[in-house]
Amino acid sequence: EPTQEEAMVATRKRARPAGSCSLDESTLASLNTSRAPLELTGGHAQPARMVQYFREAKLTDVTIIVDGKSYAAHRNVLAAASDYLDKLFAGPKWADQEQPVKLSQVPGAHTFANILEYIYTGSCMTNESDLISMLEAAHYLQIEPLLRSLQELVARRVDASNCLEAWKVADTYTLEKLSATAMQMALRSFEQVSTSAGFSGMPLPFVRQLVSDDKLIAQEEQRVFEAVVRWVGAQEHTTHEEQAELLRLVRYPLLPHDYVLSTVQREPLLLRHPTGLGLLLESYQQRVYSLPDSRLHRRRLGQMPRGVQRPVPADLLCGWECHFEVPYSQRTQPSDLTSLPERATHVFIGARSPDGLIALGATARREAVLRRTVGNETHEENGAWWYFASNEDGEDTSFGFSRAARVDLSNADVLGSGWMENPKDEDGHYRLSWRERAGRDGREVAERWPRDGR
């Protein structure tokens, strides 16, 4: 009979970038893509009479000049909305004076007109092409609700073509949500963004953050090595220390032996660097002699093994976040799977053997793991065949994966596929299944361990 197993669901974490950079016109242009109308909300609306006073320039007590155009407004309303103007008007220079206030850092009169509308009514209309100029002005004037609203709009528009530029914007204005979104997109689209023109202009801390991350998706470590070489070659000046800092992040033990001989050892950057080939030797020593820094031979997310793993490599889950792990005696509910956080791009499902090692497991994209199936239906994802089955009444019956495409879910799911064309799987060694059964807690598993295993 099935003994105690431990269900495991692991998800990848996300990280926050570090570094600093400045913006230029090309950066802003890459994010200003269309003139589609957008509504910015979340502000604090003034009473209707105060809004009317603003529109009629009635009882105003301050004139703001932006890009040569004057705007009449009320100091108390502006100070309540903008931390910058609050400090400005509270200062001795403006306490008893009626002279106009020039805001030279606000990018354009049209932008400031929209901001005034937001301050008085709590919302305003703008164009997608004006988002960054609005963001720049909101940051300068320190209008927090508007800054949050703009950050969310820009974050929803981040893709592989503009994520590096969005990252620069986020760093410049200290926008944590946008920064995390842009970095995640850069990690997921690394092979595309690392060959773009914008990659060469990224500051060293940004490149270091990407190349060092386990969550970087690259099918082959060759792409990472080539990206580092391209970035260094595009810089007008980098020190040997900065070059070594990046070169050490390449996981040389994951490179094919032929590639190391034909390309890496002949790369001019390594040959010119005082310790270039020494870095390569150092990485191999760490693997051969099991030195403390095992990062250099950990696989990245995009290099996860395909198919059902038995046993599971010890370094497979380095850097993953555990979502759900319980002994077999505790019943596993479908909600334990469907509650996977949306930030999880990939999911590992597995079971531990009595010695505590993960003896069997497979990895797939989150949406593939949660895809519902009916009856004996399966679908392929990353070399394994997955199912999240329900019966004709819509009741959940089985969840799991198999090395074989055809499975029989009409029984207790304790052995293999049940099909004669899959003889290699009839012992269940490459199948893991949890099955709902009336009157019994827990899930039944395709594997069999000695009693008291986990």
Q: Which of 134-138, 180-184, 356-360, 369-373 has the lowest mean pLDDT?
A: 356-360
Q: Give burial (CB, 10 Å; 0-12/13-18/19+) of 261.
A: exposed
Strands (E), 291-450: 320-327, 346-352, 358-365, 373-374, 379-381, 384-390, 396-402, 431-435
> What is the value of pTM for the model shown?
0.62
Q: Between vectors from CA 156 to CA 152 and to CA 158, what angle results, nearest 5°?
A: 120
pLDDT for 140 beyond 90: yes
Range in 286-290, 348-352, 374-378, 409-413 the model is least confident about: 286-290
- Predicted local distance difference test score (pLDDT) of residue 295: 57
pLDDT computed for residue 16 by the predictor? 35
Give the confidence band of 438 by pLDDT, cuts at 50, 70, 90.
very low
Q: Are 310 and 424 in contact (CB under 8 A)?
A: no
What does the H/E/C string look like for 75-141? HHHHHHHCHHHHHHHHCCCCCCCCCCEECCCCCCHHHHHHHHHHHHHCCEEEEHHHHHHHHHHHHHH
Q: What is the torsional sign of CA 443, 446, 450, 453?
A: negative
| Average pLDDT value for residue range 141-155 | 93
Rounded-to-integer distance, Cα 96 and Cα 393, Å: 77
pLDDT band at 138 (very low <50, low <70, confident <90, very high): very high
Q: Could you tell me if 112 and 103 are in contact, meaning their C-beta atoms sit under 8 angstroms apart?
A: yes
Average pLDDT, the chain: 80
Q: Across residues 235-255, what is the average pLDDT?
A: 90
Min mean pLDDT across 2-16, 255-269, 400-414 is at 2-16
Mean pLDDT of 76-85: 95
Q: How many helices (H) and strands (E) does the chain have?
A: 19, 14
Q: How far apart are CA 203 and CA 30, in angstroms?
A: 18
DSSP assignment string, 12-25: E------------H
Please return the burial class of 425, using the count of CB atoms within 10 Å of its CB with bins 0-12, 13-18 and 19+.
Answer: buried
Tokens of 40: 């910015």
Tens digits of residue pLDDT in 50-77: 999 999 999 999 999 999 999 999 999 9
d(CA 28, CA 238): 26
pLDDT score for 58: 96
Whether 415 has a pLDDT exceeding 70, the answer reads: no
In CATH, 34-156 is 3.30.70.260: no
| Among the listed residues 52, 117, 78, 133, the one whose alpha carbon sits nearest the alpha carbon of residue 125 | 117
If pLDDT is split at 50, 70 and 90, which confidence band does 332 have?
A: confident
Determine the Cα–Cα distance for residues 352 and 397; give it in Å rounded to an integer.
22
Q: Which residue has the higher pLDDT, 328 or 396?
A: 396
Which tokens in the block code for residue 321? 């976040």
- Rounded to whole angstroms, the Cα distance separating 246 from 147 reads 34
Cβ-contact 165, 79 below 8 angstroms: no
- Angle (nearest 5°) at CA 224 between 223 and 227: 85
Report the first-to-last Cα separation within the chain, whole angstroms: 14
> Is the model's pLDDT at 303 over the cut of 70?
no
List the structure tokens of 69. 């155009």
CA–CA distances in Å: residue 68 to residues 99, 110, 126, 272: 15, 11, 21, 55
Q: Are 27 and 169 in contact (CB under 8 A)?
A: yes
* Domain ranges in the chain with CATH number 3.30.710.10: 34-156
pLDDT band at 431 (very low <50, low <70, confident <90, very high): confident
Q: In this predicted model, which residue has the larger pLDDT, 132 or 114?
A: 114
User: Over 90: is that where the pLDDT of 20 sits?
Assistant: no
- pLDDT-derived band at 305 (thresholds 50, 70, 90) equals confident
Phi, then psi, of 281 in degrees rounded to 5: -65, -40
Average pLDDT over residues 251-279: 87
